[in-house]
């Protein structure tokens, strides 16, 4: 996911923004399922909360916070940089075809 983020920021890959939402959604679902399976109230009652459990929860929470914040910032950056280019391209296509806006 972070490779796609940097490709999008640097403008190297035009495919990065297209797949970023799918990758983020998959990772968030994976983390949610992992946390649910490990810490659901039906099976977790008898187990102590160990150091490993703390690390899992902390790492997952940091990932979810950062991926959400970085995702929002990246989408804003891409829209800011790509918006004028898309509009220019649409204007050129319309003028070539003969459609007036």
pLDDT along the chain (101 residues), means of 10: 58 58 78 83 78 87 83 77 69 71 55
pLDDT of 6: 57
Q: Is 44 within 8 Å of 53 (Cβ atoms)?
A: no
pLDDT of 29: 85
Vertex 19 angle, CA 34 and 55, to 5°: 25
The CB density around residue 35, as the number of other CB atoms within 10 Å, is: 15
Closest CA to 81 of 14, 24, 20: 14
DSSP-based three-state secondary structure for 55: helix
Distance (Å, rounded) from C-alpha 48 to C-alpha 54?
Answer: 11
């Amino acid at each position: 996911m972070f490779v796609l983020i940097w490709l999008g920021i640097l403008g190297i890959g035009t495919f990065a923004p297209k797949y970023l939402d799918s990758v983020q959604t998959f990772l968030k679902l994976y983390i949610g399922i992992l946390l649910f399976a490990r810490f659901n109230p039906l099976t977790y009652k008898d187990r102590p909360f160990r150091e490993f459990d703390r690390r899992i929860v902390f790492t997952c929470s940091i990932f979810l916070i950062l991926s959400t914040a970085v995702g929002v910032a990246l989408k804003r950056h891409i829209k800011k940089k790509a918006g004028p280019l898309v509009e220019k391209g649409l204007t050129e296509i319309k003028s070539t075809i003969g459609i007036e806006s």
